[in-house]
Structure formats: structure tokens, C-alpha cells
Structure 1
Amino acid sequence: MAGYLPGCFTEEEIQCLEENAIFPPDPHRSQGKRKISATLIASTPSSNTSISSSASTTSVRTWNFNPSTISTNIPTDKESIEVLEYIGFEPATALDIFQRYTSRPEPDDCPDDLLSYVHGQISDLKGETSHEALARVGINTQIQSAIADPMFSDILWTRDLHFWVKDTLDTNLASLRNQHGLIKRHAGRLIAHKNKRKRRRVQGSFSTEEESTEQIHQPVATINMTSEDFHLPPTCTTIVDGDIPLLPDHIALYKGKAHGEMRSSRQLISSDGTINLSSLYSPPGGDFNSMGNAQYWTPDKEIAEKYRQWTALRCPQSDTCLLTIQVPKEFIETLDIIEIWFSGHWKELVWHCRQQLHLSAQFNSTYEVDLIKGHICAGQTEDLTQITANNIHTFITRDKLLQSRSTGKPGIQWAFQCPASIIRLQEQISGKMHLDIFAATN
């Protein structure tokens, strides 16, 4: 996983973190993990920076960061058994995966990294319906319980077990990467401050009394999170306290995600406010995308929030995010749109797409459209792919639709398909995106 985690902590960073009580003293550093103990304060991303007045400004609201706490163990190595346990494997399975990885022949010429072995471990879950399969591949009990939680069973069966387990493991890995980055950046700031203090002391700027005061450490360290820690550009980000009003002649669309999934080389918001939606793509096998990626959003905020809550349950060490974009109606009217609601045609399209089959001639109209609007299927993916075409209309009944709990109506999804239209969408929502970021629950 060398490409997924930052480098190990340096001795200078470890010493600094210990001095500031973020790493409690630990004589057993060789165990490959350290305890973190700190209070997180979400600083305004625009602090010490003037907010841009351009239309590219993105609004952000943080939840439960003031303060939140970190009190957990994190691996300190890039590739280790501890990393595998952290992301979601039982200890015995983590040991087995790591031993197979480290004993691979000719490792310098082998293209498979540790993440490839992780994904290989769960490949047997494809086509599985039984939750007992999670224990068989070595997934820990916390994730098993979260995935089996009946409150979220409708979301579970919008994809298969393999999809959600892979999503959970990848999200946990992203969370670890972000925790490493947060702690390393904070250590860097502390070291820079310490070095500056030393230089000033040499120049006679500090008295003995001032120096001794600065070395008094609090029992619980405080980390002031900056815009860099949220992966948000400070010059075009503004913090808000209340709800964002709907703009005239716009439609609000929502998505619930792990925040860590959007912290990658494909940064969601660039320094000039440009939005890049590529980190939010859904892979093939959804309701309306058979063989290509798609951008799925919903006009139902409650459904998006339920996705976010389930992510927080599966990945309690991950920050989560509810995204809102406001799309001009005038832009939507320029798109080639198909509406496919619960019907025989909808059932056949979902059945083909869930199996990632090449769409037949009867679906030619869906190949090149910009946007498909339709209901969300919550039927068990495995059953959908195992039934024959002759049984589609009998098996896929109306109770297979994902329901909005407050209204009792079927949930709605918008699937943006065409790459050119998605680029246009990015341009249209610049300055019209809002992020509600929720602190990790563990």
C-alpha cells in the first residue's frame, strides 16, 4: 500500500508528538502502532486568509468538531499486519494476508501491492447473499454488525456484499491515510515552531521564565484543524452556521459519502474553486450504468443522509460528508434526459445494468443520453443477477424500491452518464456546492 499511506513517522516527529502528549509514551514502538490522544478543533478554513469574493466560493459547515476527540491506536507503518487490522480484518486473517504478501516470489517484479491482496481476499464475496460469508473472509465483527444492521438493509441491497465490503475497507484505508496526514502536518507545525523558538532564544528574545512556561504540556493535546486538513482551498471556502438557501431557478441534489474518499489526487475542489467530480464516480453495476462510470445524485436529502449515516456506522473512524449541489434549471433543460420509473422497461434496464451486461437494442436510447432519472432499486443484487430474463417481471416487485422513510414514496436518483455533460455540470455548480462535514464517531 506504499502509494496509499504517507511515509512512516520520523524519529523527530515521534519525539515531538510525545513531547506534546499526542503520542503518549510507549516503550514498545516495535509493535507497529501508537496510541493517539488529542482534541480536534475545526478552525475556519479561511482563517488568516481573505475569502475570495468570486463566484467559485464553496460553503462548508462542520459538525461535532468543536471539540471532537481522537483516542485510538493507529498503525505507524505503511505496510503491516496492523494496517490490515485497522481497515477491517480479524487478526488471524490480517496475519495470513500479510504473510502471503511478504512471501510472494520476486517481489520487486510483482505488480501486486498489498491492496491487491486485500481485494483478492474478499473476491469470494461476489454473488454472495449470506452475511456468514463476511466471517469466512475474515471481516471483523464491528463491520459485520454494521453491514447487517436492519435499518440500512435497503441500502445494502442496492449493490452486492462485495461492493460494500470493498467500499468499507477502502474507506477505512482512506481514513488511516488522512489521520497520518493530519498528525504529520501537526507535527511539522510543532517542529517549525520549536525551531523558530530556538532561533529566537539564541538571539536573546526569550527569558528563562518564558521558556519554562512554553514547555508546560497539557494532559490532552489540542490539534487545530486547518483547511489543509479538510483538503479545502482556503481562498475559495467559507464556513457557514446555518442552512444554505436554495437559489432561484435551481434544483438541489445530494450525496452522502465518507469525506476521506474525496481527499485524493483528484481533489474535489481545486485552489481556484474549480470542481472535479471524478472522485465521486460510481463504478459499473449500478441501476442505470451497465459498463461505464456514472455520477449518481438524489433530490431527496433524507436518502443521501441515510447513505452518510450508514458510512459512519461502517467506518466509525472516518469523517463523513453530506454534499449538496445546486444545478440551474436552465442547464438541466439543455440535457438529453430519459425518465425511467418503475415499470417493465425499468425492471429490464436494472437487471441488465446490475449484471454489467451489454445493453441490447431495446436500450439504445440510454447509451448516449446525458441524464437518466428513475427510482432506486433496493432488491438483492445477487438475486437480480441469478434470475432469468423470463422471471424479471415476476421477481422485481414494487417492494424492491428504496423508500423515503418520511414520505413513504420511492426514492429517486439522477444518473449523469455522458462525460461531456458531467464536465458541463462541474462548471455549472462552481460556487454552488455545500459540504456538511461530520466528525468521526470513534
Structure 2
Amino acid sequence: MSSHLKGLTPEEFQILEQEKIVGATNFVTFDLPESLESVALIEYLGYTRAKAEEIFARWCARPDPDSNPYTPKDHALVELSNLERAPLRDLLDRPAEAMRGLGIAEEMLNCMMAPEHKDMLETETLAAWLDIAMRSRYGTAMRYLDILKARAVRAIRTKKGNERGNIDGVFQPGGSTPDTDVALATSSISMSLESKFHGEMFPREYATIVQTPPQNRPGFVTLYKGKSTGFEYQKQTTLITENGNLNMQFIATYNGGDFNGQDLAWYWSREKETAEKYRQWAAKYDVHGETWIMQIQVPETFLQSVNIERLWYGYDWKQYLWYCKTMTPNSKLPENLRKYATADVMEGHICKRHPSTVPKILKQNVQQKLTEDDCLVLGNGRKSTQTVFMNWEVVDKLEPLIRGKMYIEVHLASVK
């Protein structure tokens, strides 16, 4: 069993309290589970206490644990599949009622139902967004526990070496008065950037902290991507590898997207506002986690050297999107659409229609049922766009061009 699943040992938690890195008041206020194998973890993911206890009891009672190495998180995520079965499936037009029926906590329900993010909620199924939200929260909890454990181990070693030592800016001690913003005392906002990004998240020699974004360079196209840092977080899976290369798997999108019916793809946007919509939505459901807007600048000469197709709202857009959402094999696409599936790069409008509803549209009704209202739009009414790198071959060529030049705008947790 990995150390982060075991959580903090009593000795580690004690040393963190002694060093004022965490305090009892801070810890409870932040509601960070001490272990990733606990009822508290499942509740933190977004379930009610009663439902969390039910799921945890089921996990504890699983037969032959050595042959069933599934975690409480796995059991919590599997539970979401009930949203797509009767009787909850019949409530999906009333998502709040469906979530309450499943045992989703009111806090998570309010995140999902936030009216300002209605257009984002509609871009995926309810089960898919809950899955993403819970994976993000799990990654955030794991990341904080990893950081705390690393600091505790260093502090213990220092004490055993008869040195006081200085715990370098990890978590600033929070106040004890009732009106103090203690939730942030154990969240990322009180962690020094130097400590966080040099060594904890990125290899020290490959990350530089700057205060201003890079200028747009002539001859380059600037692309943006908004994401949660908690989603699928693993210590072994980081954006930058030990040799300084970018791990492009870290930012890939699985099949079934707007333009990638069968294979992984890499989604970006030319509009920062589009990336910001995704980032703000991630910040809503992963309330304690950091969110990023990633920025890269791609040489125009590179884009001119690859096979690029553009697909704006219209007849082919509706048709190709339907085939992608039904995950139709590329070999079975109509002849007029195959050029999109075999492109290196695609650019086009973003669909906000519920993915679960698109495959249910009869093929002969696609042109009537998908309308311009199904396009994601920006605040000024302009349609959002996406730039998609469609295969590993083009991404392997892209990686060295953006290596060492990626800019990440970090938004710290703002929970109150």
C-alpha cells in the first residue's frame, strides 16, 4: 500500500502541530481527511455522511481484499453509475432530485447547480461531471497529504538530528479567533510559491516563478487551457518529467470529445476567456484545489506544416460531432468526414449539448435537433472555439517546441 493512502501517522501529525504547520482548528475547518481510506475521504468527495458510511462499509466488507485492490475512491466513483440506471435515470431532467436520490451532499449539489455555470454543466453528463469533480477533490486531498507528509518527514529527521530547522513556508499558521480565515491556513493560498513549485510540484531546475505573463510573440499562436490541478493527481504523474520534458499524457482528453471519437486528443483554445470558463467551473467543484490557466505559444510555421482542418458550426459540424459522441470507429465514418478524423489539428466551435443526449438523436434527425444554441458562447455572444491536436505523432512534434516555454497562471483556492 502506498504511503499516501495510509495518510498521516500520529507522529507526523504531532510534528506538524508542533511546528504550527497545521493546527487542530485549522485542520477541522478545512475538512481535509487525514487518510484516503476513510469515511471522511468519501464525504470530502461530495457524498452525505450517511452515504459515505454506506460506501465505506461496502468497501470494508469486500471479499478477499488482496484480490480486490479497489480503494474507497473507486467505490465512490462506481456509485455514480447508478445515475444512468433506473430509477435515477428517469430523474436526469431534474438533476438536483437525482443527486439527492444518490446521496450527493448539498454542498456538491449546489456546486453542480450553480446558475452561472449552467452552460458548462451541459457540456457533459451529470455523472461525468460528478466523476471529474470527485477525482479532482481526491487529487487535491492526496496532494495536500503528500506535501504535509513530506514536510513532517523532514521535520522529524531534523529533530532526530538535534536541529531545530526551519519548515520553509509550507503552511502559515492560522489564527484561532472565530472570524479568522482559517480555511485558507491549510489551503494552497498560504503556501509560498517558492516552496510549492520548486520541488513539490515541478522539478526545481525546470520551473521559474514570474510575476507577469509572457508577451505574445510575432509568428506564434497563443493557446490556453483551463484545468484543476487535483484532477487525476498522482505523485508519479506530473506535467514535467525529471529530465525536463513535458508529459503530454498529463493534459490529454479521452475519446468521446467533440472532435475525437476514438483516440486521445489535446484540447486548447485561442481565447483565454474560453479557458477561463473551464477554470472557473473547476474552481467551483474542486473548492479547496488550485486551478490553472495554461498558456503555450505555437509557431505558425508548425501549424502550417501539419494537416489542419477547420470545422465551424454547420452541416458537417453537426454530423461529425454526432459520430464522435457516439464513438463511431473512424473506418465507419462517411467519406466526407474522414478528413477530420485523420487531421493532425482541428479547429472549430465547442458543443455545450449534453453528451448523453447527442447519441440518442437519430442520425436522420441530427441536422434538425442540433442547433446554434448548442454552441458554447462567450460573454460577448461570440462562439467559443477549440484547437485540438489529434494524435500522438503531432503532439510528439509539438512537445519540444513548447518545452520550457509553457506559462501557467495559478489561481489559489479561494474558499471562505
Change beyond 3 A, Cα 1:351–1:3: farther
Deviations, residues 319-374 of structure 1 (Å, cap 9, x unaligned): 11110011111111111111111111110111121222234233322332211111
User: In the TM superposition, what is the alpha-carbon distance from 1:404 to its structure 2 partner?
Assistant: 1.3
The residue type equivalent to 2:45 in the other structure is I
Which of 127, 150, 157 is matched with 2:122 structurally?
A: 157
Which of 114, 138, 141 is matched with 2:106 structurally?
A: 141
Q: Distance in 1 between matches of 2:160 and 2:197?
A: 23
Which of 365, 371, 374 is matched with 2:348 structurally?
A: 374
Structure with bigger RCO (C-alpha 8 Å, 6+ apart): 1
1:17 aligns with 2:16: yes
1:357 aligns with 2:328: yes
Q: Distance in 2 between matches of 1:409 and 1:106?
A: 55
Q: Distance in 2 between matches of 1:254 and 1:193?
A: 42
- Partner of 2:348: helix, strand, or coil? strand
Q: Distance in 1 between matches of 2:361 and 2:2?
A: 40
User: In the TM superposition, what is the alpha-carbon distance from 1:229 to its structure 2 partner?
Assistant: 6.2
The count of corresponding residues between Structure 1 and Structure 2 is 383
Asked if 2 retains the 8 angstrom alpha-carbon contact of 1:261 and 1:279, the reply is: no
CA RMSD, Structure 1 to Structure 2 (Å) = 2.4
- Partner of 1:238: helix, strand, or coil? coil
Change beyond 3 A, Cα 1:223–1:299: closer
Change beyond 3 A, Cα 1:4–1:311: farther
1:239 aligns with 2:206: no
Q: Distance in 1 between matches of 2:324 and 2:37?
A: 36
Q: Distance in 2 between matches of 1:292 and 1:410?
A: 25
1:114 aligns with 2:72: yes
Worse-matched range after superposition: 189-198 or 340-349: 189-198
The residue type equivalent to 1:259 in the other structure is T
Change beyond 3 A, Cα 1:390–1:235: same
The residue that corresponds to 1:389 in the other structure is: 363
The structure that is strand-richer by fraction is 1
Worse-matched range after superposition: 166-175 or 232-241: 232-241
1:284-299 to 2 correspondences below 5 Å: 284-299=255-270
Choose 1 or 2 for highest CA Rg. Answer: 1
- Partner of 2:356: helix, strand, or coil? helix
Detail structure 1 runs of 4+ shifted over 6 Å in the superposition: none
Change beyond 3 A, Cα 1:428–1:165: same
Asked if 2 retains the 8 angstrom alpha-carbon contact of 1:311 and 1:320, the reply is: yes
1:124-135 to 2 correspondences below 5 Å: 124-126=82-84, 128-131=92-95, 132-135=97-100
The residue that corresponds to 1:182 in the other structure is: 147
Q: Distance in 2 between matches of 1:184 and 1:237?
A: 22
The residue that corresponds to 2:180 in the other structure is: none
State the TM-score, normalized to the length of structure 2.
0.85
1:72 aligns with 2:71: no
Change beyond 3 A, Cα 1:81–1:374: same
Asked if 2 retains the 8 angstrom alpha-carbon contact of 1:6 and 1:180, the reply is: no
Which of 335, 342, 354 is matched with 2:313 structurally?
A: 342
Asked if 1 retains the 8 angstrom alpha-carbon contact of 2:43 and 2:52, the reply is: yes
Which of 310, 319, 331 is matched with 2:302 structurally?
A: 331
User: In the TM superposition, what is the alpha-carbon distance from 1:318 to its structure 2 partner?
Assistant: 0.7
- Partner of 2:358: helix, strand, or coil? helix
Asked if 1 retains the 8 angstrom alpha-carbon contact of 2:240 and 2:247, the reply is: yes
User: In the TM superposition, what is the alpha-carbon distance from 1:218 to its structure 2 partner?
Assistant: 8.9
Asked if 2 retains the 8 angstrom alpha-carbon contact of 1:283 and 1:293, the reply is: yes
Asked if 1 retains the 8 angstrom alpha-carbon contact of 2:220 and 2:299, the reply is: yes
State the TM-score, normalized to the length of structure 1.
0.81
The residue type equivalent to 2:46 in the other structure is G
Q: Distance in 2 between matches of 1:236 and 1:409?
A: 37
Change beyond 3 A, Cα 1:351–1:4: farther
User: In the TM superposition, what is the alpha-carbon distance from 1:86 to its structure 2 partner?
Assistant: 0.9
The residue type equivalent to 2:38 in the other structure is S
- Partner of 1:382: helix, strand, or coil? coil
The residue type equivalent to 2:354 in the other structure is Q
Asked if 1 retains the 8 angstrom alpha-carbon contact of 2:254 and 2:265, the reply is: yes
Deviations, residues 278-311 of structure 1 (Å, cap 9, x unaligned): 1111112211111222111110100101110111
Change beyond 3 A, Cα 1:235–1:112: closer
Q: Distance in 2 between matches of 1:125 and 1:432?
A: 42
Q: Which runs of 5+ in 1 are unaligned?
A: 26-34, 38-69, 201-216
Give the % identical residues: 28
The residue type equivalent to 1:325 in the other structure is I
- Partner of 2:54: helix, strand, or coil? helix
- Partner of 2:14: helix, strand, or coil? helix
The residue that corresponds to 1:195 in the other structure is: 160
The structure that is helix-richer by fraction is 2
Asked if 2 retains the 8 angstrom alpha-carbon contact of 1:6 and 1:181, the reply is: no
User: In the TM superposition, what is the alpha-carbon distance from 1:20 to its structure 2 partner?
Assistant: 2.4
